[in-house]
Amino acid sequence: MPQRLADLDANATEPLRPEARAAAIAALDLAGNPSSVHAEGRAARHLLEGAREHMAAALGIRPAQVHFTAGGTEANATAIAGLAHGRRVLVSATEHDAVRRAVADATILPVDGEGRLSLAALAEALADGASPALVCLMLANNETGTIQPIAEAAALCRRHGALLHVDAVQGPGRIPLGPALAVADTMALSAHKAGGAKGAGALLVLGEAVPAPLVRGGGQERGLRGGTEPLPAIAAMAAAIAAAEAWRQTGGAERLGRLKARIAAGVAAIPGVTIIAAGAGTLPNTLSLALTGAAAATQVMALDLAGIAVSAGAACSSGKVGESHVLAAMGLGPLAGQAIRVSLPWTATEAEVDAFLAAYAAMAARLARKAA
């Protein structure tokens, strides 16, 4: 296979941060089970609680609010299924499947053309129902980068006695989590989306409402998630979140933003290119690019063959590129099937961006020649 030139699919998974690698390797050599009473167990528990405190400090919350899970999907599922008892579940139309499919009968709330939740629709839905609601709104969208009006949605939720769950897996290292942490009842985070290892996530319980567990087992994680904690993945997660947040605040986010602007400027002159959600506040690393007339799947394949990793739609476990429910919900029509997502990792370089621009321009020219 040809040489790999640029991995611009960070929203699928971020490259491992060195702090996370070091923490995981150190934890691998710790034999104890954090639940055991002996010295080995105490050492393991010390590591686990240290990780919890480290992560909580990085996020500005209390350690007791952090509950480790096996990943972002499980954190979302636990929060939503675990809080849904007696509550209607309202989810925005562009939520990830981890949220949309957490319960079977969620009500879908519409978004505008930029992918932002319709606050009017939310207010109407909250006012309509007899039973209290659980509202699920992501911090920022994985495909378009669109940042949701969390504060406004939270105010509506408070007014109607509804709970707010925020899927913030795309946030760390990119945008501040503080405003959402201040108003959400629960929040889901993923380790590997922040430069940690796959296999850990966290459910932050920020308000009074405590979800019922999905996995009871031995009652670990304050009864919210049974099962022996995967220490290497958890240690790596705490290190990654802390490192990502520090990196963001010391120029990292601005650097990503400049690289993203370089891409936007680079594709501006190519006929048929549309930047999706250009009018919304978006993640500094995420750019959704539509190329009129070119199937998203073809673009992803063509770029992959040219050594560039990007994505389209949501990756199904079968590997097929399905149609994007996110872009369809935004009312983009045919363009919904013609957009790719470029998401810059924390390691992104100008050289990678330029390699992408060259490959993208060549692909667009070839597809345009064929259409002519």
Residue 282 is classified by DSSP as B
Residue 316 a catalytic site member = yes
Nearest to 360 by CA among 339, 332, 346: 339
Return the residue of 47, 93, 177, 302 that touches other proteins, per CB under 8 A: 302
Give the other-Cβ count within 10 Å of 203's Cβ. Answer: 27
Q: How far is the CB of 98 from other proteins (least distance, A)?
A: 17
User: The tokens of 119 are what?
Assistant: 């606050």
Q: How far is the CB of 55 from other proteins (least distance, A)?
A: 35
Nearest to 102 by CA among 134, 128, 140, 66: 134
Q: How far is the CB of 305 from other proteins (least distance, A)?
A: 6
169 or 327, CB closer to other proteins? 327
2 or 251, CB closer to other proteins? 2
- Provide the sign of the torsion angle of the four alpha carbons 15, 20, 22, 27, taken in this order: negative
Q: How far is the CB of 245 from other proteins (least distance, A)?
A: 36
5 or 234, CB closer to other proteins? 5
In the window 313-342, what residues touch other proteins (CB under 8 A)?
316-323
Return the residue of 1, 37, 39, 268 that touches other proteins, per CB under 8 A: 1
CA-CA distances (angstroms) from residue 230 to 44, 113, 172, 247, 341?
10, 41, 21, 25, 32
- Selected catalytic residue, list 316, 362, 365, 371: 316
Return the residue of 270, 297, 358, 368 that touches other proteins, per CB under 8 A: 297
The span of 36-44, 257-265, 291-299, 352-360 binding other proteins (CB under 8 A) equals 291-299
User: The tokens of 76 are what?
Assistant: 């979302």
The pairing of strands 186-190 and 133-136 is unpaired
- Interaction between residue 372 and other proteins (CB under 8 A): no
Q: Contact at 8 Å (CB) between 204 and 187?
A: yes
Residue 2 is classified by DSSP as P
Q: Contact at 8 Å (CB) between 255 and 312?
A: no
Q: How far is the CB of 225 from other proteins (least distance, A)?
A: 23
In the window 121-180, what residues touch other proteins (CB under 8 A)?
none
- Interaction between residue 369 and other proteins (CB under 8 A): no
Q: Give the H/E segment covering residue 249.
A: none
- Interaction between residue 298 and other proteins (CB under 8 A): yes
1 or 268, CB closer to other proteins? 1
The span of 116-124, 165-173, 180-188, 298-306 binding other proteins (CB under 8 A) equals 298-306
> Alpha-carbon distance 319 to 305, whole Å?
16
Q: How far is the CB of 209 from other proteins (least distance, A)?
A: 31
Strand partners, 9: 343
- Interaction between residue 256 and other proteins (CB under 8 A): no
In the window 2-61, what residues touch other proteins (CB under 8 A)?
none
Q: Give the H/E segment covering residue 354.
A: helix 350-371
User: The tokens of 209 are what?
Assistant: 């409402």
Q: How far is the CB of 368 from other proteins (least distance, A)?
A: 11
> Alpha-carbon distance 186 to 190, whole Å?
14
85 or 370, CB closer to other proteins? 370
300 or 340, CB closer to other proteins? 300
Return the residue of 25, 305, 351, 365 that touches other proteins, per CB under 8 A: 305
261 or 316, CB closer to other proteins? 316
What's the half-sphere exposure (Cβ side, CA atoms, 13 Å) at 25?
Answer: 7
- In three-state secondary structure terms, 145 is coil
User: The tokens of 173 are what?
Assistant: 């290292």
The catalytic residue positions are 316
Site residues, other proteins (CB under 8 A) = 1, 294-295, 297-298, 300-302, 304-305, 316-323, 366-367, 370
